[in-house]
Chains A and B, each alone.
Chain A
Amino acid sequence: MPAPGRPDGADGPPDAVDTGTGTDLPEAAGRRLESGSFSSGLTVPDFAACLQMGLRPVALVQGFCVMQWGWYGAGSPYSRGLSPYAFGSGGAPRGVYSESYSCPHGGMVYSNEHRIWGQNYQQPWVEEAWAEGFGSAYSRLVEEAGAVGAHGVIGVVDSTRHLADMNVTEFHILGTAVVVEDAAPAPGATPWTTYLAGQRLAKLVEAGYMPVSVVAALSSVRVWAYCVTEMLMEGRPLSTFGGGGYMPVAEVEQLSRAHLAARSLVREHVRGKLGHDTLQGALIVANTQRLAQGDEVIECALRGTRVRRFKDFDPLPPPRPTVRLT
């Protein structure tokens, strides 16, 4: 087996490579990328399609960033009543989503726990932290691709996961760096990137589009439930005077609007990165973190490949009908 550990016999992670170009890749990345053989994370069908398109795999490239994510730290109050924005929709800075809800019970407070107000608000500090983590990992992936002289990176896969016991979140992006056969090397140029690979990428190019870069963003909206939202979410009847109560069949408006806002915000974030290009293969994933008594944090991640038209669409031949024998 190849000897484990560093060639210099030291243990522990070595210092980052400093090539004088501001790189922060680890030393092992430099050694691996100098290897004579190529590596590819593509499946075999994708690998075959890649060769057919005139793309030659060069190396599996990757980027990481481990972030401490202060979900409920400074500027992100967990406790009710510590909103960074003043009560009311006018309290948030310009361009930041916030709206408030008042108790409809005419000021008749049933108990000290009755929630006479609620608020939905965007958490830009969470969104910025996510963008910073993703951006750092992505820039390292592109840096590795640039180091092997790649024109682009295909089959990009990204993941975000919480590391057990460590209270930190890791951003991980990897893909296969490729060189366009018969094309001149492009020293200094930023490699293009795409989530697509194989026949899906081939079809995109046949359709007259070229990939520019992967694009991803996150929106985060915090919900502080007011009395109506709390009662509907907790399955408790809305109280009426004289005892008893009723359980209406009704939309939970505060939550609906929060989900709508989260999706709208993430689309805005991504749209701001597209310029005059379009987004291909958009995938939106909503994640809801339930806290208590109707309170929630809603996160929406949107990712896709930014593409640019470079030629007119060549009509494809009509498909051949087939029957699978399985």
Chain B
Amino acid sequence: MTQPQDLPKEAGHRLEELEHGLFTSDLSVNEFLLIKEAGFHPLGFVMGSSIYHTGIQARRWNKSQELTKLTEAMYNARELAMTRMEEEADQLGADGVVGVRLDVNYYEWGRDAAEFIAVGTAVKAEDGVSHRNALGKPFTSDLSGQDFWTIMQTGYVPQGLVMGTCVFHIAHRGLGQALGSMGQNVELPNFTQALYEARELAMTRMQDEANQLGATGIVGVRLEEKSHQWGSHTIEFLSLGTAVTKSAGDVTLPKPITVISLDN
């Protein structure tokens, strides 16, 4: 689903209205001012959604392993939501989307199904120069308006919200293992390796996405862990951040000044 015509009809009506000058955004007033200060103006609040049946995958009770089907499902569902949000931004002629939030909601009526939602504010450069990413798409970023202004001052520009995910089943301990370490304070290398491996896989995939965008780095990386509805031994490790590239020319950052607030 990569064609704009795949968007709902109502989305088309809403976006047409936005093309006539009215804009919507979830930016705070301070964020709005700083987006303008950075040389961009908001075009509209954009979103993408996907309801995905994540299903189940067989796992071995005593074996730590990645559940690749679930990993792919969680990845594809977010990608679908992100792509639809980018399509809305593309339809507005945006250079990018700031303040992107990715959420997962579960509903009582959909067992094993979840709604993946991506929302953000589409923005366009006021100087008319394209700021789209290396793939020719609007850049996406989970940076706030303040962070967006700050990153532009450092000489870096956002390329895209990048993510990596890994759904991992952590093995249960057998009776022999439990008895063998009973009453002792000891490291459990199997657990350590499994959790370590899962997080590293998620972060590696995030960096692979950044490399595909030709990024020089990722800022604001965060690691999230959720068991969703799979039970405590199956965990999704999600790594998220904004890929950035260095713009041409050296930038000298202004030296911060010390201030004292006169507010109460």
- The judgment on whether A and B are partners is yes
Question: Is the beta-carbon distance between A322 and B262 smaller than 8 angstroms?
Answer: yes
A39 & B217 in contact (Cβ 8 Å cutoff):
yes
**CB atoms of B211 and A68 under 8 A apart:** no
Which among A5, A45, A52, A163 is the interface contact of B255 at CB below 8 angstroms?
A52
Would you give the 0/1 interface string for B181-220, flagging 1 where the beta carbon is closer than 8 Å to chain A? Answer: 1111111101111111101110111111111000111111
Asked whether, in the complex, the Cβ of B188 is within 8 Å of the Cβ of A67, the reply is yes
User: A64 contacts which chain B residues (CB < 8 A)?
Assistant: 192, 195-196, 199
Q: Any chain B CB within 8 A of the CB of A165?
A: yes
Q: Is the CB of B184 within 8 A of A73?
A: yes
In the complex, what distance in Å separates the CA atom of A182 from the CA atom of B59?
A: 50
In whole angstroms, what is the CA distance A39 to B153 when docked? 19
Q: Within 8 Å CB of A45, what residues of B?
A: 147, 150
> Contact at A74–B166, with CB atoms within 8 Å?
no
- Residue numbers in A under 8 Å from B205 (CB-CB): 1-2, 4
Name the residue on A nearest B182 (C-beta): A73
Q: Which residues of A contact B30 (CB under 8 A)?
A: 326
Contact A132–B185 (Cβ < 8 Å): yes
| Inter-chain contact A132/B200, CB cutoff 8 Å | no
Name the CB-closest residue of B to A53.
Answer: B253
- Do the beta carbons of B68 and A5 come within 8 Å of each other? yes
Which residues of A sit under 8 angstroms from B231, Cβ to Cβ? Answer: 165
Interface residues of A in 1-49 (CB under 8 A from B): 1-2, 4-5, 11-14, 16, 25-29, 31-32, 35-45, 47-49
CB within 8 Å of B: which A286-326 residues: 316-324, 326
Whether A66 is near chain B, meaning CB under 8 Å from some CB there, is: yes
Interface residue A51 (Cβ < 8 Å from any Cβ of B): yes
Q: Is B66 engaged at the interface, CB distance under 8 Å to the other chain?
A: yes
Please, which residues of chain A bring their CB within 8 A of the CB of B199? Answer: 62, 64
Instruction: Say which residue of B164, B194, B217 sits within 8 Å of A57 (CB atoms).
Output: B217
In the bound complex, do residue B72 and residue A4 qualify as a contact, i.e. CB atoms below 8 Å apart? Answer: yes
Q: If A44-B143, A62-B199, A70-B183 touch, does A323 touch B258 (CB 8 Å cutoff)?
A: no
Are B193 and A13 in contact, with the CB atoms below 8 A?
Answer: yes
* Distance of B26 from chain A, by nearest CB (Å): 18
Please, how many angstroms separate the alpha-carbon atoms of A27 and B201 in the complex? 9
List the B residue with the shortest CB-CB distance to A66.
B191
* B259 touching A44, Cβ below 8 Å: no
Q: Could you mark each residue 105-137 of chain A with 1 if its beta carbon is under 8 Å from any beta carbon of chain B, else 0? A: 000000000000000000001101100110010
Chain A interface residue count, Cβ-Cβ cutoff 8 angstroms: 72
Q: Does B221 contact A (CB under 8 A)?
A: yes
A202–B257 CA distance with the chains assembled, in angstroms: 12
Q: Please tell me if A158 contacts chain B, counting CB pairs below 8 Å.
A: no
Does chain B have a CB within 8 A of A96?
no
Top-4 shortest CB links A-B: A73-B183, A129-B185, A28-B200, A66-B191
Instruction: Identify 12 new A-B residue pairs, CB closer than 8 A, beyond the known A1-B79, A5-B66.
Output: A2-B209, A13-B64, A13-B193, A32-B203, A39-B221, A47-B219, A48-B153, A51-B154, A132-B185, A166-B191, A316-B258, A324-B263
A residues bordering B, Cβ < 8 Å? Answer: 1-2, 4-5, 11-14, 16, 25-29, 31-32, 35-45, 47-49, 51-52, 57, 60, 62, 64-70, 73-75, 125-126, 128-129, 132-133, 136, 140, 163-166, 168, 170, 174, 199, 202, 316-324, 326
Could you list some 26 contacts between A and B, CB below 8 A? Answer: A4-B66, A12-B65, A13-B65, A14-B197, A16-B193, A35-B211, A36-B211, A38-B218, A39-B217, A39-B241, A48-B153, A48-B154, A52-B253, A57-B217, A65-B187, A66-B188, A73-B185, A75-B183, A126-B185, A132-B185, A132-B187, A166-B191, A166-B233, A168-B188, A322-B260, A324-B261
